[in-house]
Amino acid sequence: MTSASVPLHELHCHLDGSVRPGTVADLARHQGIALNAPVERLVTAPASCGSLTRFLTYIDLPLRVLQTPDALRRAARELVEDWSADDVVYGETRFAPQLHGRRGMTQDEAVQAVAEGLAAGRRATGVRTGLLLCCLRHQTPEESLAVAETALRHRDQVAGLDLAGDERLHPATPHRAAFDLAHAAGLPCTVHAGEAAGADSMWEAIDVLGARRIGHGVRCVGEHALLDRLRRDGIALEMCPTSNVLTGAVSSLRAHPAARLLADGLAVTISTDARTTSATTLSQEFDRLRAAAGWTAEQDKLAQDHAAGAAFATTRPGTSGATRPMRS
């Protein structure tokens, strides 16, 4: 638990980057996939990782074993159990259902499997959950539109839409139709930006795709007009300190801008990004900020207040833990 003993909320957590190493090994064994090294080395990024491109390679094996509904259900249920052990009271996970069709699983089947796993975890732990679907920058506009359409077919289970990928190599604008569809249906959106590229990617996320939250956003420091816009519109920043160092988005935890931006009135939130790939928990993220950046109990509480206010899902009255998108 954080030093302030405040309830923890996690907004930015990729399912395929948060599968327990033991589960990856077990699924690989049952699926006949041989591992050429200890599983921990295959799924956890080293401290010397240094780039987003290399960081993402450590998700290749988890993605390979998450190609059946049973595997997705198990991973989602275990993530909720891990949140509970981490004192998280509300967690959002995100995944790209279009990446789980190697064995013929449809996007609808993938979403249903993850939703069922989250529901099982909720029943067992009481942790509230939200599910986001990811469009991918390197894919075509048509593929992103299909993801948005899948999200809308599962409105009772999907709380938001995301755009993930390397913004240095792939702009967000081609995916506008998918996000226009989400906005028309009242589905809130977040966009990865300001991680691999600078302020321009964040302006694009806000002005073109209508992002209510920004995934990471660490490269906004010193961009006064952008900071004013983020502050004025209350756009939450989903910062993931350990991951931001591993991907080279910031040079060190000591240099991470979360504390400065929080003090400057921005809606900074803290998440893990990928619990297994980054070898972290949400509690550890706060511990590391305290040790390296002078983070305080008051900042714990403020960041958690921002996270609770920026959550995309809430409990549906009359049901046990089911989620629905929050309305603006």
> Active-site residue 149, yes or no?
no
What tokens does 84 get? 């509970």
Residue 190 pairs in a beta bridge with: 162, 213
Task: Show Cβ contacts of residue 22 under 8 Å, excluding neighbours closer than 6 positions.
Answer: 39
Task: Report residue 163: phi and psi, to 5°.
Answer: -125, 120
Q: What is the CA radius of gyration of the chain?
A: 18
Q: At residue 271, what is the residue type? A: S
For 260-275, give one letter per residue: b (16+ CB within 10 A) or e: ebbeeebbbbbbbbbb
Residues 6+ apart with CB under 8 A from 89: 7, 8, 9, 127, 128
Spot the catalytic one: 92, 167, 195, 238: 195
Smallest CA-to-CA distance from 10 within 252, 327, 325, 306 is with 306
Q: Which residues are catalytic?
A: 195
